[in-house]
Every structure is written in structure tokens, then in C-alpha cells.
Amino acid sequence: MNVSIKNLVKCYGEVRALNDLSLEIADGELFFLLGPSGCGKSTLLRCIGGFEKPTSGQILFDGKDVSALPPSDRNTAMVFQGYALWPHMTVEENVAFGLEMRKIPKEERDRRVMAALKGVQIETLGKRKPNELSGGQQQRVALARTLVVEPGCLLLDEPLANLDAKLRRDMRQEIRSLCKDNGLTGIYVTHDRQEALSMADRIAVLKDGVIQQIGSPQELYRHPVSAFIASFIGETNFVKGTVRGETDGMTQIETADGMLMAAQTGQTTGANVLISIRPEALGYAKGDEMNQLAGRITKSDYMGEIADHWAKTASGAELGFFELNPQRDLPEGTAVKLTVKPEDVVIVRED
Ligand code: ADP
């Protein structure tokens, strides 16, 4: 099922939670809505599910306008944060509930419930009550309950929020596989960037009810259009500079700590620009590579497999960088020469 959102506006009194938002989600796509708290993610998901009525705009499923339809007529299923399982019903009864509501005959109901339980690997737990299950197992019941009604689109509102860190990580690929194996379109709300980066086909980052950027995880992480996206989707260093021209398909940018070449063109000579450099893109210079930045260590956090270092440049800029498999201590004041590849020098819009 493909989902089309056209010029959606949702106001709560004075608050414009969604501000003229348009979006196309392809059939079978796992699409993420990511953004800080209050940016409008849940409002958008609830509008798609029919739990919230848009102030204006349209929602289309496979080209058909569903804006006026109640949730039960939308062929969507929602997985909520708090599972919302019935405590007095067994796992099987919880999963069968949606089918009973739809008046599916018992034989077919039993077959589909078993298939759904198998799909999330809890077929042996059918007779238990929710309070006899772990958090992860309850999550699986919640998923089985939505899959069993065979929706065209699965709506997931922070479904892993209540789980511990390890289970969260384990469940990421399981949910992705469930969507892919069942050919489901999935729309997934989270404020957890790693969840989005590791699971999504595409991500829309929202702020103040407006989409700031849409792209694949790699596009958003490697080519953020703005300072907001760059810092929301990962850690980064910002450096200011002035464009001095183009050579060999690269832009020359003068900074307070020397010239940097960026593998991005089309900038206006003389323009002041903001550059984003990720901490893992900075490494020690071995010789006379281009794009060198010299500084002195101000702080180091050793964490075994990785160390987080900070170095202050001559101009006073503080640069954070990661060192994988660190071999030695870097005491405060140690002089370091760092380098960054032109493709990792990313010009972003200032917010
Ligand atoms: P998110 O899911 O990104 O945290 P929400 O969609 O829940 O954001 O909220 C977007 C904005 O709309 C926020 O400013 C929030 O306070 C407001 N809002 C959400 N639901 C309601 C409501 N039922 N009544 C009034 N304001 C609301």
C-alpha cells in the first residue's frame, strides 16, 4: 500500500503541530519519522491511522482519499508504545481479538492466530497471560496482534521505547524483517536516531511540524542539508569558513585554521559557509595530506575499543575526534595533526 500525504495541517488551538506537510511513502517501504520531542511525529502517525482529524489536507492510500474514514476502515494497524495488551486475556485471545471484531470464522481465526504467533516466534506461549511474559515477549504479542489482521500498512509509535537497551537492539532487525517478509508498508515514529539509521529505508526528519530533509540513512548522515540535521542525526564538529573558489572539482574553503577542500561544488566565491565534520572522519595525519588541522589535546575519554578525544586548534576551535582501537594515552597538551578527506567536509545550511 502506498501512502500519500498532501498539504497536511493539524492545529491544536494555537499550536500548529503539522504545517503544510507533504510526503510520499512507497508500497513496502519502511519509512521513519524522526525528530525531537514535540516536532509532530505522533500527530502525523495518528492522522494517518485516523485517530486524529487533520485541520486541512489529504491522506491517500493507493490513491484513494481516506481522510474521512475511521481507523477501522483504513487497512492500517497501530503498534503502540505501551503494548496495550488485555491483561485478563491469554496471548492467543489477545491476538485473536481483532479477528473476532471482524467476525472471522473460528477455524480461520485459529489458523491465522497460530501463523501470527509463529511469525514472531512465540507459538509456545499462546496460553499465557501478559503478566507471565517478559517485556520482549509482550512486544512480540503486540506485533502478532497487528500482523494477524493483515493490514496494508503498519503504524509503529516508538514500539521499542519500554525495552532495555540490548532487547531494543535485537528487536530492530526483527521488526524490519517482519515488515519486509510480509510486504508491509511500515511507518515508524522514533526520536532515537540509531534506531532510524539501522532500520529505515528512508527517514524524514521533522522540526516544528515541517519536514527538514528526507533521505536514506546514508544520505541523511553523510549529506545533511542543515546544521540541525547534521547534529540531530549524529555527533559533529562545526567549522566556519569562506569560499575561495573551485579547483579539480573541489571547493576551497578558508578557515581560521587553514584551507580545507570540500568535495562539494556550486558554492559562491566569497560566501561564508558552515562546515560539518564528523568525529570519526578526523584521523591522524601521516604526512603531507591535504586538509590538515593542528591542535592540542584538551580532553580524552578512553573506553576500550574507542577513545573520544578533543583538541583545540590555534584559532580556539574545539574539535572532537574518535580513535578506534586506541594504543596510547594522549595527555592534555599533546600536539596532534589531524586530517579529513574532502568528501567528509560537508557544507551545511546554518539554521
Ligand atoms: P512528537 O510526537 O514529535 O513528540 P506530537 O505530535 O506529540 O510530537 O506533538 C506536536 C505538537 O502538538 C506539540 O507541540 C504538542 O504539545 C502538541 N500536541 C500534541 N497533541 C496535542 C493535543 N491533544 N492537544 C494539544 N496539543 C497537542
- Residues, the chain, total? 351
* Whether the Cβ atoms of residue 153 and residue 184 lie closer than 8 Å to each other: yes
Ligand 1 pocket: which of 10, 14, 15, 212 to mutate (most atoms within 8 A of CB): 15
pLDDT digits (tens, 9 = 90+) for 193-252: 999 999 999 999 999 999 999 999 999 999 999 999 999 999 999 999 999 999 999 999
In percent, the amount of the chain with pLDDT more than 90 equals 79
Residues having CB closer than 6 A to ligand 1 are 12, 15, 17, 35, 37-43
Cα separation, 278 vs 58, in Å, equals 39
pLDDT digits (tens, 9 = 90+) for 286-316: 998 999 999 999 999 999 999 999 999 999 9
Domains of the chain: 3-230 (3.40.50.300), 235-348 (2.40.50.100)
Neighbours of 275 (CB within 10 A): 24
Q: What is the mean pLDDT of residues 79-99?
A: 87
- Cα 55 to ligand 1 centre (Å): 14
Whether the pLDDT of residue 15 is over 70: the answer is yes
Full 3-state SS string of 170-201: HHHHHHHHHHHHCCCEEEEEECCHHHHHHHCC
| Atom 2 of ligand 1, residue of closest alpha carbon | 42
Global pTM reads 0.91
pLDDT digits (tens, 9 = 90+) for 123-182: 999 999 999 998 888 888 988 898 888 899 999 999 888 778 887 888 898 889 889 988
- Cα 248 to ligand 1 centre (Å): 48
